[in-house]
Amino acid sequence: MDDWLTAALRAPAVLVTVAIVEGSVPREPGAKMLVTRDGFAGTVGGGHLEHRAIDMARTMLEEGGPARIERFALGPSLGQCCGGIAHLVFEVVDREQMALLDKRRNEDTWRLIDIGGTLASLFDGAGRLLAGDAAPDFDPGLGTHVFTDASGRRWLADAVFAPRAHLMLFGAGHVGAAIVRALAELPCRVTWVDERDDMFPAEVPANVSIEATDTPEALVARAAPGTTFLVMTHSHALDLRLSIAILSRVRTLEHADWFGLIGSDTKRRQFEHRLRERGIADERIGAMVCPIGLPGIAGKAPAVIAVAVAAQLLTVWETAQASSLLDASPESN
């Protein structure tokens, strides 16, 4: 299934963005849905809200017009039990800007949309203009939001952030392929590594990059602090080499890696012994997750393992994100 950005590259479309939320609503500011004449990608929350938004987007697609913002009261008018208010911005997509966004999936980008007008601009994470016209200053600390400039014009400042979670996945076998499929629409980027180039499928999800290399340990050494590692290669000897490389990395409290190794309790005991022989400290060995996957899921089929591992990774990434937000809050400074 396409994500909204992939879909935006191929057809005339209208982009619907959650701009403001009041009370309980199904999606957060910045959530998006891309609507074409005969389909859609992404979601702004489902239910009657989404049905109404799709109808309005298709009317806009036929009639054209400037970007506009619409207010939806979910309880009284749409009969949704959450009962909050969602403000959605509708805009005909600029395919050139969408193509630039697609190339910047791993970089932070800001979109500034003139509500009621036709101006649209892209800025990088440092505030430098990438495409479009100059636009007024905005506060990036607010995330996706609507603001009014000095002349009274309203703007949507839309944060399109690169995924903070980065998984380095070693092994292109059945389980590795199943994990890639399970993570295809999750907020992460995946570097998929194997020595055997012919093991990779012809097409991979948009959040995946392939590395066919005979020296995978070099990728471990170059990985950024805080990278997530999963090792499941075709060779126990290679698994061990990668385990040594990962557990030998410098570890800090601010940027701790997470490392999972596929295998049984027996494999873990064997690897613990071999890792100690090679000088890896018990503290680092204890941080190795093996077996992988959420406890209680016993199935061994690749798809079952992939679901268990994807859920486990989400818990790791969301915990790390919550911790980083807490550290960045004024109360913690």
Domain regions of the chain by residue span: 4-160, 165-322
CB 71 within 8 A of CB 87: yes
Task: Quote the pLDDT of residue 256.
Answer: 80
**Sites in the chain below the pLDDT cut of 50:** 1, 325-333
The pLDDT tens digits of the residues spanning 153-190 come to 999 999 999 998 999 999 999 999 999 999 999 989 99
pLDDT at 321: 80
- 188-194 vs 165-170, strand pairing mode: parallel
Strand, coil or helix: what is 299? coil
Q: In this predicted structure, what is the pLDDT of residue 24?
A: 86
The two tokens of residue 85 are 């208010």
- Dist CA 308 CA 295 (whole Å): 8
The secondary structure of residue 332, as a DSSP letter, is G
pLDDT at site 330: 41
**Cis-peptide into 291, omega within 30 deg:** yes
CA distances from 128 to 110, 131, 134 (A): 10, 9, 10
| H-helix segments, the chain | 4-8, 47-63, 95-103, 174-182, 216-222, 236-247, 265-277, 282-287, 302-328
The maximal CA–CA distance of the chain, rounded, in angstroms, is 71
Q: What is the pLDDT of residue 68?
A: 97
- pLDDT score recorded for residue 39: 93
Give 302: exposed, middle or buried? Use CB within 10 Å, 0-12, 13-18, 19+: middle
Residues 315, 187 contacting (CB under 8 angstroms): no
Q: Which two tokens stand for residue 94?
A: 């600029």
pLDDT of residue 250: 74
Which residues touch 47 (CB under 8 Å, ≥6 apart)? 26, 78, 80
Task: Fold for 165-322, please state it.
Answer: Rossmann fold (3.40.50)
